[in-house]
Amino acid sequence: MPDTPLLVCDFDGVLVDGMPEYWWSARRAVLQLQPGLALPEQAPPGFARLRPLMHQGWEMVLMAAELSRSDLDLEGLLAAYDDALPRVLKDWGWGSEQLQTALEDVRRQALAHDLPGWLALHRFFPGVVERLRRLAGEHSEWLVLTTKGGAFARRILEAAELEPRTVYGHEQGSKPEVLERLLAEGRPLWFLEDRRPTLEQVLERPQLQAVRCFLVSWGYLAPGDAQDLPERIQWLEPAQFQQPLAQWPGSDKVRVY
């Protein structure tokens, strides 16, 4: 078992499409902080365009608030998202921890009072559940590494009767930090993400050179994410994801049992 790959899977955008829930929860969190804002029940198109740029859950709350502005320069925000975040936080007078707490409070209330309704806002990407269940037959394990709260990811997985080895939520640290700890086990790590900047952060750390990185084609990708990928980032299509690990891109260069 130690020589077989351990699949480290991002959650949102790799396993689950929760776009309806992101807006549902972010909108409610904003309205708790700033009652009276004009926010539509359904996510505006700008929210989906911003989603590939968001890294932490609190950013969804902040962007929901920004989308209420009649004078919002959406194209400017998209072009300089990372630089704009501190300014936007200051404009609203909030802190990132405050927004994260508001988001998780909304989700906890939903789990307590309308679990079926909350779960219905998520769907697994086609073929994902069946593929994960087949991994046991390939002598491979998988786990979840997400910036979502671990308890929320676990509840969605339980509803689908999926049992990863474990779930690492944002409470356990950044993704590169968790990957470093996992590498100490001495087995191959294959990391599946839909956010190219996260994979590029992995590439920047010399201590993570052994991690094989896959950018999935079906997630929340920003325009141009698939272009000119670094050599260490493999592009993964749904059909390739369904194949045995030995047939995944680049696997001819590594040992796969």
Look at residue 143 and tell me if it is in a domain: yes
Same domain, 132 and 170: yes
Same domain, 128 and 10: yes
Q: Which two tokens stand for residue 129?
A: 């559940």
pLDDT at 257: 46
Nearest to 208 by CA among 219, 199, 196: 199
Number of domains the chain contains = 2
Q: Which two tokens stand for residue 212?
A: 């094989």
- Please name the residue that has the structure tokens 């030995």: 246
Read off the pLDDT of residues 126-183 as tens digits, 9 standing for 90 and up: 999 999 999 988 889 999 999 999 999 999 999 999 999 999 999 999 999 999 999 9
Last residue within a domain, chosen from 71, 94, 119? 119
Planar angle of CA 43, 49, 54, nearest 5 degrees: 95
Largest alpha-carbon pair distance within the chain? 58
Same domain, 164 and 110: no
Read off the pLDDT of residues 39-93 as tens digits, 9 standing for 90 and up: 999 999 999 999 999 999 999 999 999 999 999 999 999 999 999 999 999 999 9
Same domain, 47 and 149: no
Same domain, 248 and 132: yes
The whole-angstrom separation of Cα 172 and Cα 179 is 11
What is the model's pTM?
A: 0.92
Look at residue 1 and tell me if it is in a domain: no
Band of residue 253 on the pLDDT scale cut at 50, 70, 90: low
Same domain, 128 and 98: no
Look at residue 201 and tell me if it is in a domain: yes
Domain that includes residue 78, residue range: 19-119
pLDDT at 162: 96
Cα distances (Å, whole numbers) of residue 154 to 122, 137, 148, 232: 13, 23, 10, 30
Same domain, 225 and 135: yes
Last residue within a domain, chosen from 97, 119, 141? 119
The whole-angstrom separation of Cα 156 and Cα 48 is 21
pLDDT over 70 (residue 254): no
The terminus-to-terminus CA distance of the chain in angstroms comes to 9
Q: Around Cβ 39, how many Cβ atoms within 10 Å?
A: 19
Same domain, 208 and 169: yes
Read off the pLDDT of residues 168-223 as tens digits, 9 standing for 90 and up: 999 999 999 999 999 999 999 999 999 999 999 999 999 999 999 999 999 999 99
Residues in the chain: 257
Tell me if 134 sits within 8 A of 245, measured CB to CB: no
Last residue within a domain, chosen from 63, 84, 119? 119
What value does the CA radius of gyration of the chain take, rounded to a whole number of Å?
A: 19
Q: Are strands 123-124 and 16-17 parallel, antiparallel or unpaired?
A: antiparallel
